[in-house]
């Protein structure tokens, strides 16, 4: 929890829990957490606050939305609705919130959104870093705890091909990373989506890049989401990569719940994220997603069970909608299954 967030008085929530708040005192007594029919408790929200983006990454899935939006969105949740959803979710055990997009820093009221949140264990955001250098301090002051920054290449020409960015953008992202570290938005996690034959030869260079930050920056190697046949040729051999990382690591740690491995290599922490065909990832999923246009999304890979909260009139209605969305959560992948659980319309593909 950010110590900069305003201190609030203890209050009674609609769940019947006594909420004690204040700097460093994020506690809920007798909270009845939201849990889906499979017993998975929801302890986190991932909220897209805009579909707008100032880049055009070749692999974009836009948080599971049907297509990526480059221009202005017709509907975006107002700041107050976002805050009300988080407040109500926090009453039922949600402790972590991650903001994403699109590019969340395109919301000029992002600081306003952050400042109205209830006390939480962690508030983070995923950004492409282009606009980060000028706002890192104000975001920290408003209550943001840390950031993930997308950085797929350190070679300007490659970076521009992958992201569709104009020349000079890579340097702005690097400045944003520096500013984030200076502002205390740490640990900064660098999200590097691995693309076979495009940037998979830059893993060592990326480790060298973050080493001077002395642990304040972590490298996350992310497996490409194979939801578009046109991207299949860019899928890496994940098993070979994990074997290589394991052989080089002086220490291998296992992340709680997802059983994701963290490799300590020459003073750098490297994590390999595999969201696809991963039954453990699904079995331990604790997040509910919220789209920029106010739809509660039980699973990133499914678009046929959304719950529309855009026009919710009061906290009581938001609670009902949250409960409905959680009741619709199902593991998308099942251990040992050769096929996906159901057929869906994936990002960017319409019937």
Task: Kindly state the average pLDDT of the residues 76-102.
Answer: 97
The residues pairing with 289 across neighbouring beta strands, listed in sequence order, are: 46, 297
Q: Name the residue range of residue 213's domain.
A: 33-327
**Between these two residues, 350 and 199, which has the higher pLDDT value?**
199
Whether 145 is covered by a domain: the verdict is: yes
> What is the rounded CA–CA span in Å between residue 239 and residue 226?
16
Whether 5 is covered by a domain: the verdict is: no
271 has a pLDDT exceeding 70: yes
CA-closest candidate to residue 120, choices 46, 47, 24, 255: 24
49 has a pLDDT exceeding 80: yes
Whether 162 is covered by a domain: the verdict is: yes
66 has a pLDDT exceeding 70: no
- In this prediction, residue 226 has a pLDDT band, given cuts at 50, 70 and 90, of confident
The conformation of residue 186, written as its DSSP 8-state character, comes to -
**Between these two residues, 101 and 14, which has the higher pLDDT value?**
101
- The full DSSP string for 217-262 is EEEEEE-----SGGGGGG---HHHHHHHHHHH-SEEEE-TTT--EE
pLDDT in tens, 119-164: 999 999 999 999 999 999 999 999 999 999 999 999 999 999 999 9
- In this prediction, residue 278 has a pLDDT band, given cuts at 50, 70 and 90, of low
Whether the link from the prior residue into 5 is cis, omega within 30° of 0, is no
Whether 8 is covered by a domain: the verdict is: no
- In this prediction, residue 342 has a pLDDT band, given cuts at 50, 70 and 90, of very low
Whether 87 is covered by a domain: the verdict is: yes
Whether 40 is covered by a domain: the verdict is: yes
The residues pairing with 262 across neighbouring beta strands, listed in sequence order, are: 253, 271
Whether 91 is covered by a domain: the verdict is: yes
Whether 149 is covered by a domain: the verdict is: yes
> What is the rounded CA–CA span in Å between residue 232 and residue 345?
17
> What is the rounded CA–CA span in Å between residue 296 and residue 248?
41
Q: What is the mean pLDDT of the chain?
A: 85
337 has a pLDDT exceeding 60: no
Query: pLDDT above 90 covers what percent of the chain?
Result: 71
Whether the link from the prior residue into 187 is cis, omega within 30° of 0, is yes
**Between these two residues, 133 and 27, which has the higher pLDDT value?**
133
69 has a pLDDT exceeding 80: no
pLDDT in tens, 287-314: 999 999 999 999 888 899 999 999 999 9
CA angle (284 as vertex; 283, 288 as ends), nearest 5? 105
Looking at residue 259, what is its pLDDT? 67
How many independent structural domains does the chain possess?
A: 1
Tell me the CATH number at 238: 3.20.20.70
The DSSP H or E segment spanning 295 is strand 295-297
The DSSP H or E segment spanning 11 is strand 11-12
């Amino acid at each position: 929890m950010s110590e900069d967030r305003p201190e609030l008085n203890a209050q009674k929530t609609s769940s019947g829990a006594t909420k004690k708040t204040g700097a460093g005192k994020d506690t809920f007594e007798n909270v009845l957490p939201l849990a889906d029919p499979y017993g998975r408790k929801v302890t986190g929200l991932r909220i897209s606050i805009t579909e707008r983006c100032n880049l055009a990454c070749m692999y974009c899935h836009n948080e599971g939305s049907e297509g990526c939006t480059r221009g202005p969105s017709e509907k975006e949740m107002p700041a107050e609705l976002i805050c009300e959803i988080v407040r109500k979710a926090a009453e039922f055990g949600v402790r972590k919130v991650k903001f994403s997009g699109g590019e969340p820093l395109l919301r000029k009221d992002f600081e306003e959104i952050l400042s109205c949140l209830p006390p939480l264990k962690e508030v983070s955001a995923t950004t492409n870093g282009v606009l980060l250098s000028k706002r890192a301090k104000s975001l920290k002051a408003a209550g943001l705890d840390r950031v993930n920054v997308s950085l797929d290449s350190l070679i300007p020409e490659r970076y521009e091909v992958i992201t569709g960015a104009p020349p000079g953008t890579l340097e702005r992202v690097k400045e944003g990373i520096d500013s984030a570290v200076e502002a205390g938005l740490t640990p900064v996690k660098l999200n590097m989506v691995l693309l076979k034959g495009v940037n998979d030869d830059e893993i060592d260079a990326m480790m060298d890049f973050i080493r001077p930050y002395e642990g304040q920056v972590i490298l996350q190697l992310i497996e490409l989401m194979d939801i578009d046949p046109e991207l299949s040729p860019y899928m890496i051999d994940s098993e070979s990569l994990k074997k290589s990382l394991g052989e080089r690591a002086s220490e291998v740690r296992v992340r709680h719940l997802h059983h994701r491995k963290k490799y300590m290599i020459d003073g750098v922490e490297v994590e390999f994220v595999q969201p696809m065909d991963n039954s453990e990832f699904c079995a331990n999923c604790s997040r509910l997603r919220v789209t920029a246009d106010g739809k509660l999304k039980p699973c990133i890979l499914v678009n046929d069970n959304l719950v529309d909260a855009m026009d919710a009139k009061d906290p009581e209605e938001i609670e009902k909608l949250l409960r409905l969305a959680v009741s619709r959560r199902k593991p998308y992948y099942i251990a040992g299954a050769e096929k996906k659980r159901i057929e869906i319309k994936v990002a960017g593909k319409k019937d």
